[in-house]
């Protein structure tokens, strides 16, 4: 094995690579490396694998460690001709060695058939670490390989630009800080991330890390990012890459914990057997986390339903109820003005108007609809790409599309349920669970737990629910203290706050305020990268 886990030859290099295509159908036959380094497809769509692999041997994975399981799953999507097996194992092992829990993502029983999947034991205390520790090492791997024997300006330099409502930013920074040949720029909406989230980002002073505070919402930051990625010519000479869940590697890495938690449930519960179906409930914003569950299900994991839990920014919940995807709901009776923009809620990481990964699910729904015509796979794929392009164009120009065909909505409802949880229900859920079992939920997880309680009321009593716990409660002290101050035994400073967060506010910070336009952000990024390269 050479530097940073890159090997030069492999016995398995004859195996053909899994190929990828864009949801808009114009960008096809791409390698895993191209997909990861580009982030967004060249036609503005999102990359998906040409085929969802079947995990025929999934039952034999039940005793594997988290890293070994991740390796097995990823091997089905990344051919050893692209990343030799020994290298992939090395990348995966290094990525999960930074987690505080030996199980990486432990499963905790809350109550009867309700379990909580704790995804916050990584460096930044949020579920994003599971993917971004891996993505950081993956970028490094590809860059080391590309730059072998090259010096100075000949080296390939990657400029990662990210948009965050709080968690992706710090997880990306911790995944990439100090790495060679990479610069990281994270845009966050000024005043709309929690104080701890902002400190987690702005107190990282590595030379390759830059925080940009943008006047506007998360959607504004995401739009700037997408515009930059869609115009590589204007970015020249820098190569812009993505760490948001538009990057396929993010989704891929998240598939592991659906399988892992399923196997943990089999081990922990006397009433749940290998092969039984489970419901996963996922607090949802950009639709990345739950999409990984969809892939797990399509690979063969027995899933009864995937339950989308939204806050008051409920575009997805409205789609599942009406088949219409619209940024703003139509005014209710007696209300003549449609409320404008995103709502600020107690679960700010999900304060999103448009969910970027929903486009990936739309492609699979459109493909299934096309396949019912009985034509061949190529035709179905072409139809799916055209349909998705049409829907997304309509969304861009009118702010909505749909209602989609009844059969498309039927397929969506077969695999998913949806629940909308408002702020008062979020607070009630944090309080009720604390009183019942003494467990402190973060507000995003509470949205999921409230949805689980509703889902359980409508499901067979035998069905087990796994709620995804997406962040540590200390990241959202405002909501947690609002719900629990005065409750017996509640002591935020001494019982909730992890030692890693103490004193963050006293540390030196670095952040730049930037006007929220593509041209201003691009200008700043280019100038900064030029400076970094000239000093390298």
Ligand X SMILES: Cc1ncc(COP(=O)(O)O)c(C=O)c1O
Ligand Y SMILES: N[C@@H](CCOP(=O)(O)O)C(=O)O
Among 115-123, 158-166, 310-318, 338-346, which window interacts with ligand Y (CB under 6 A)?
158-166
Among 35-43, 280-288, 384-392, 416-424, which window interacts with ligand X (CB under 6 A)?
280-288
164 binds, among ligand X, ligand Y, none (CB under 5 to 8 A by kind): ligand Y
Which of 283, 285, 443, 473 binds ligand Y (CB under 6 A)? It is 285
* Closest CB to ligand X among residues 289, 419: 289
124 binds, among ligand Y, ligand X, none (CB under 5 to 8 A by kind): none
Contacts of 340 (CB under 8 A, 6+ apart): 328
Task: Return the HEC string of 395-445.
Answer: HHHHCEECCCCHHHHHHHHHHEEEEECCHHHHHHHHHHHHHHHCCCCCHHH
In the numeric block, which tokens belong to residue 521?
Answer: 């952000």
In the numeric block, which tokens belong to residue 127?
Answer: 């579920």
SS3 30: strand
- Phi then psi for residue 103, to 5 deg, are -85, 0
* Closest CB to ligand Y among residues 353, 514: 353
Q: Is 211 in the site for ligand X (CB under 6 A)?
A: no
Q: Is 131 in the site for ligand X (CB under 6 A)?
A: no
Q: Decide if 226 is catalytic.
A: no
Give me the 227-256 binding string for ligand Y, x by CB under 6 A, dash otherwise: -----------------xx-----------
DSSP 211: E
| Of the candidates 212, 171, 70, the residue with the CA atom closest to the CA atom of residue 513 | 212
In the numeric block, which tokens belong to residue 133?
Answer: 């520790």
385 binds, among ligand X, ligand Y, none (CB under 5 to 8 A by kind): none
Distance CA 14, CA 79 (A): 9
| Of the candidates 82, 144, 132, 350, the residue with the CA atom closest to the CA atom of residue 247 | 132
Task: Return the HEC string of 81-136.
Answer: CCCCHHHHHHHHHHHHCCCCCCCCCCEEEEECCEEEEECCCCCCCECHHHHHHHHH
Q: Is 286 in the site for ligand X (CB under 6 A)?
A: yes
Distances (CA, A) of 39 to 137, 159, 249, 473: 15, 12, 9, 30
Q: Is 125 in the site for ligand X (CB under 6 A)?
A: no
Q: Is 122 in the site for ligand Y (CB under 6 A)?
A: no
- The minimum distance between CB 134 and ligand X, in angstroms, equals 15
- The minimum distance between CB 237 and ligand Y, in angstroms, equals 26
Give me the 167-206 binding string for ligand Y, x by CB under 6 A, dash otherwise: xxx-------------------------------------
- The minimum distance between CB 313 and ligand Y, in angstroms, equals 11
In the numeric block, which tokens belong to residue 39?
Answer: 């982030």
Distance CA 433, CA 487 (A): 12
Distance CA 139, CA 160 (A): 10
Give the full edge-to-edge strand order of the sheet including 182-189.
Answer: 239-242, 158-163, 182-189, 209-214, 512-514
- The minimum distance between CB 242 and ligand Y, in angstroms, equals 9
Which of 22, 213, 235, 245 binds ligand X (CB under 6 A)? It is 245
Bin 310: left if φ > 0, else alpha if -120 < ψ < 50, else beta.
beta
- The minimum distance between CB 218 and ligand X, in angstroms, equals 9
Q: Is 292 in the site for ligand Y (CB under 6 A)?
A: no
- Report which secondary-structure segment, H or E, holds 186: strand 182-189
- The minimum distance between CB 311 and ligand X, in angstroms, equals 9
Among 72-80, 151-159, 281-289, 517-525, which window interacts with ligand X (CB under 6 A)?
281-289
Among 224-232, 272-280, 282-290, 301-309, which window interacts with ligand Y (CB under 6 A)?
282-290
Of residues 469-488, those binding ligand X (CB under 6 A): 470-471
In terms of C-beta density within 10 A (0-12 exposed, 13-18 middle, 19 or more buried), how is residue 21 classed?
buried
- The minimum distance between CB 257 and ligand Y, in angstroms, equals 15
- The minimum distance between CB 282 and ligand Y, in angstroms, equals 12
Q: Tokens 């409920």 correspond to what residue?
A: 314
Give me the 319-358 binding string for ligand X, x by CB under 6 A, dash otherwise: ------------------------------xx--------
Of residues 335-354, those binding ligand Y (CB under 6 A): 349
Among 24-32, 90-98, 222-230, 279-287, which window interacts with ligand X (CB under 6 A)?
279-287
Buried b (16+ CB within 10 A) or exposed e, 447-478: bbbbbbbbbbeebeeebbbbbbbbbbbbbbbe
Q: Looking at 59, 89, 102, 128, which residue is catalytic?
A: 128
22 binds, among ligand X, ligand Y, none (CB under 5 to 8 A by kind): none
- Residue positions annotated with a catalytic role: 128
- The footprint of ligand Y (CB under 6 A) covers 164-169, 244-245, 285-286, 288, 349, 356
User: Which residues in this chain contact ligand X in the complex, by CB under 6 A?
Assistant: 126, 167, 245, 283-289, 349-350, 444, 470-471
């Amino acid at each position: 094995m050479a530097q940073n886990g890159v090997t030069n030859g492999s016995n398995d290099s004859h195996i053909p690579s899994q190929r990828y295509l864009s949801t808009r159908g114009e960008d096809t036959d791409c390698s895993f490396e191209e997909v990861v380094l580009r982030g967004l497809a060249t036609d503005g769509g999102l990359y998906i694998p040409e085929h969802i692999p079947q995990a025929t041997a999934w039952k034999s994975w039940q005793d594997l460690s988290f890293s070994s399981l991740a390796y097995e799953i990823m091997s089905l999507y990344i051919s050893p001709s692209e990343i030799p097996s020994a290298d992939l194992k090395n990348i995966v092992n290094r990525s999960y060695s930074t987690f505080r829990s030996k199980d990486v993502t432990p499963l905790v029983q809350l109550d009867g058939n309700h379990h909580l999947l704790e995804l916050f034991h990584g460096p930044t205390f949020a579920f994003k670490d599971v993917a971004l520790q891996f993505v950081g090492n993956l970028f490094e791997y590809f860059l080391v390989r590309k730059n072998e024997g090259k010096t100075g300006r000949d080296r390939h330099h990657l400029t990662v630009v990210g948009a965050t409502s709080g968690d992706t930013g710090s997880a990306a920074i911790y995944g990439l800080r100090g790495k060679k040949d990479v610069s990281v720029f994270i845009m966050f909406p000024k005043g709309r991330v929690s104080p701890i989230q902002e400190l987690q980002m702005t107190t990282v002073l590595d030379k390759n890390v830059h925080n940009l505070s943008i006047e506007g919402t998360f959607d504004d930051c995401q739009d700037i990012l997408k515009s930059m990625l869609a115009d590589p010519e204007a970015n020249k000479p820098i190569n812009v890459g993505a760490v948001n869940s538009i990057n396929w590697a993010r989704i891929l890495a998240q598939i592991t914990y659906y399988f892992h938690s399923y196997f943990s449930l089999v081990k922990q519960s006397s009433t749940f057997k290998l092969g039984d179906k489970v419901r996963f409930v996922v607090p949802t914003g950009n639709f990345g986390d739950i999409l990984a569950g969809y892939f797990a299900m399509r690979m063969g994991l027995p899933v009864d339903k995937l339950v989308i839990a939204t806050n008051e920014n409920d575009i997805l919940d409205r789609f599942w109820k009406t088949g219409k995807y619209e940024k703003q709901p139509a005014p209710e009776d007696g209300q003549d003005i449609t409320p404008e923009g995103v709502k600020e809620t107690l679960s700010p990481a999900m304060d999103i108007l448009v969910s970027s990964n929903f486009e990936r699910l739309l492609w699979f729904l459109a493909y299934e609809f096309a396949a019912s015509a009985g034509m061949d796979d190529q035709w179905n794929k072409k139809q799916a790409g055209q349909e998705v392009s049409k829907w997304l164009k309509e969304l861009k120009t009118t702010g909505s599309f749909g209602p989609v065909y009844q059969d498309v909505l039927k397929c969506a409802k077969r695999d998913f349920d949806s629940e909308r949880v408002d702020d008062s229900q979020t607070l009630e859920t944090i309080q009720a669970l604390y009183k019942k079992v003494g467990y402190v939920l973060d507000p995003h997880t509470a949205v999921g737990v409230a949805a689980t309680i509703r889902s359980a009321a409508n499901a067979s009593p035998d069905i087990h629910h796994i709620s995804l716990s997406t962040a540590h409660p200390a990241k959202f002290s405002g909501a947690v203290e609002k719900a629990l101050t005065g409750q017996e035994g509640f002591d935020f400073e001494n019982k909730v706050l992890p030692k890693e967060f103490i004193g963050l506010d006293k540390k030196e910070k670095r952040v730049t305020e930037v006007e929220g336009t593509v041209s201003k952000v691009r200008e700043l990024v280019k100038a900064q990268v030029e400076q970094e390269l000239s000093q390298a």
